[in-house]
Amino acid sequence: MDKKIYLDNAATTATRPEVVEAMLPYFTEKFGNPSSIYEFASQNKKAVTDAREIIAKSLGANAAEIYFTGGGSESDNWALKATAEAYKEKGNHIITSKIEHHAILHTCEYLEKNGFEVTYVGVDENGVLKLDELKAAIRPTTILISVMFANNEIGTIQPIKEIGEIAKQNNILFHTDAVQAYMQLDINVDDLNIDMLSASGHKINGPKGIGFLYIRKGVKIRSLIHGGAQERSRRAGTENVPAIVGYGKAVEIAMDTFKERTEKEIELRNYLIERVLAEVPYTRLNGHRTKRLPNNSNFSFQFIEGESLLIMLDMKNICGSSGSACTSGSLDPSHVLLAIGLPHEIAHGSLRLTLNEDITKEELDYVVTNVKEIVDKLRSMSPLYEDYVKGIN
């Protein structure tokens, strides 16, 4: 196949042509600064306001509760560091999960070095947060619970409504990293008792380097960047108007296509999962079978190295990602796969394939054929596999 088959949509997505088109005038003829007084700049101010309103509506929030940021990592950092600072009189304890994105985990480590205490709640074998463990972790000094809406590696959707209720009953703030869930799942911040929510543009066919943090009215939070009065003085700096406009457009399209798009993804995902599990022996699906993101699949193939599989898939024009974090310069397997109880050697043989609605069944057939062939080939070179097969014969 000459065409590239891109199955790494959890890492980033293509910016839609309609999004690029909406952005372009804001680089050129409409370059004004939204803070300026004259008529020429007022269209920029309006463009930012419009995008903010589209996003607020998508969550059942008010526009004044949406703060634009430089992406998901920034939103996560802000939510944690600023609440820690603003609520330190009340307490120094934060609860999160073992399977968060590094934007949360590394921020928690930073806070631990600065006098805060963090409890990392575990998950079951499907990656679902242990609610009993969460309840038991609550202390009088707990100021924040931060649990991701859905996991970026294994796609598991968390019991967010239950977590929101537990937080509310105990008068604790609840933040969720919804970078993967936003526009893949239906989210209403009031129904779910969410106080803060992080999202990112480039995971939903918008531009990179833009995101937002939803902060419920009444939550005490410190300014992230001091300077001008942008973002109600909480994140100073001239707005990235083209990116904000593009983000608004991406959300608008994602809202319009929501039902059809996610239903199609679920069908394609199930097709891929069923074929791989049926046709490749010694394979397991990581993450919950049904409580999972519409576009996520994650497999572990026993007796092989995920890295070799990725490289050989790349030679067939297939882009996926591995459960081990070798690509990011570390030889440790993913913390998420270890948290669901996989032994190191199985976690190492993992492959994440994340779809979009433009993928066809024919393309997935090509992927399955190649996964089968490559896994077979890698196993034929694996002494572990040879021993295992000899053992059972």
Q: Contacting ligand PLP (CB under 6 A), which of 13, 73, 77, 300? A: 73
Smallest distance from the beta carbon of 382 to ligand PLP, in angstroms?
31
Residue 173: what are its φ and ψ, rounded to 5°? -70, 150
Q: HSE-up of 338 (CA within 13 Å, CB side)? A: 12
Report the SS3 class of residue 60. coil
User: Does residue 146 bind ligand PLP (CB under 6 A)?
Assistant: no
Q: Which residues are catalytic?
A: 326
Which one, 145 or 378, has the nearer CB to ligand PLP?
A: 145
Total of chain residues touching ligand PLP, rule CB under 6 A: 15
Q: Contacting ligand PLP (CB under 6 A), which of 152, 262, 297, 322? A: 152
User: Does residue 58 bind ligand PLP (CB under 6 A)?
Assistant: no
- Judged by CB under 6 A, the stretch of 66-74, 80-88, 168-176, 380-388 that binds ligand PLP is 66-74
Closest by CA position to 85, among listed 96, 75, 77: 77
Q: Contacting ligand PLP (CB under 6 A), which of 34, 72, 127, 206? A: 72
- Judged by CB under 6 A, the stretch of 14-22, 25-33, 198-206, 250-258 that binds ligand PLP is 198-206
Residues 85 and 311: their CA atoms lie apart, in Å, by 44
Residue type, 354: T
Q: Contacting ligand PLP (CB under 6 A), which of 15, 146, 180, 286? A: 180
| 326 annotated to a ligand binding site | yes
Quick check: 295 and 356 in contact, CB under 8 A? yes
In the region spanning residues 211 to 230, those forming contacts with ligand PLP, defined by CB under 6 A, are 211
Cα–Cα–Cα angle for 116, 120, 122, nearest 5°?
Answer: 170
Tell me the DSSP string of 113-164.
TTT-EEEEE-B-TTS-B-HHHHHHH--TTEEEEE--SB-TTT-BBP-HHHHH
Residues at the interface with ligand PLP (CB under 6 A): 71-73, 76, 101, 103, 148, 152, 177, 179-180, 200, 202-203, 211
